[in-house]
Amino acid sequence: MNKKVAVILAGCGVYDGSEIYESVITLLRLDQRGAQVQCFAPNIPQLHVIDHYTGDEMAESRNVLVEAARLARGKIKDIREGRPEEFDALIIPGGFGAAKNLCDFAVSGANCTVQPDVLAFAQAFAQAGKPVGLICISPVMAAKIYGPGVLCTIGHDPETAQAVTGMGAQHEECEVSDIVVDVSRKLVTTPAYMLAQSISETATGINKLVDRVLDLA
């Protein structure tokens, strides 16, 4: 039977939403493996809007769900409509939006909180023992989802790793082409663009993550 996988997006674009390459690679691999996918996003304003050409902040407001719909070709739901019991696994791509819109790690660091709807949704998977994949910067939410002792990776950036351990997680260094698996919690993480220098490098680790998540489901 095909696995049903929920994917949480955080907007559209590396600097203020979900990282587009990471999101597309994730969705592509899930499709290649025959998974049924439903994308979700919180129906909230973005922290801010970044001009991806200049890198400057723009004087406008955008909605996370509306922007994420671009990545999902419109096939997306408000995360408050999601029913975790209907899915076998959850995956959250990275991008600054994961640290700005899904949680406030970009602002608060180790003192961050996860957006309530996202936290409740992800914790439902954790509590049910269903596999979860966190990509790139998304593993900074691991300790908030699972509690102290959870094993994860963001690659080998010392400052971010220190913040992750400060929240109570165990951090394991990892190359871009590999994954780290917390076997008891069924959590799979990979560095992706925390380390990647190309889209092909990113794909190597994400494909491994998707495959392992599906195998654990």
Overall average pLDDT of the 68-80 stretch: 97
Catalytic residue among 39, 136, 152, 174: 136
How many Å separate Cα 12 from the centre of its chain?
13
In the chain, domain spans = 4-216
Alpha helices, H only, the chain: 20-32, 64-71, 96-100, 105-108, 116-127, 142-146, 158-166, 199-216
Per-residue pLDDT tens digits for 87-105: 999 999 999 999 999 999 9
CATH number of 4-216: 3.40.50.880
pLDDT tens digits for 167-210?
999 999 999 999 999 999 999 999 999 999 999 999 999 999 99
Residue 13's nearest CA partner among 81, 76, 62 is: 62
Tokens linked to 56: 């400057």
Percent of the chain with pLDDT over 70: 100
Q: Is the whole-model pTM more than 0.75?
A: yes
Residue 1 has pLDDT above 90, yes or no: no
| Segment 70-78 mean pLDDT | 97
At 99-150, the pLDDT tens digits run 999 999 999 999 999 999 999 999 999 999 999 999 999 999 999 999 999 9
**3-state SS assignment for residue 132:** strand
| 128 SS3 class | coil
Active site residue 39: no
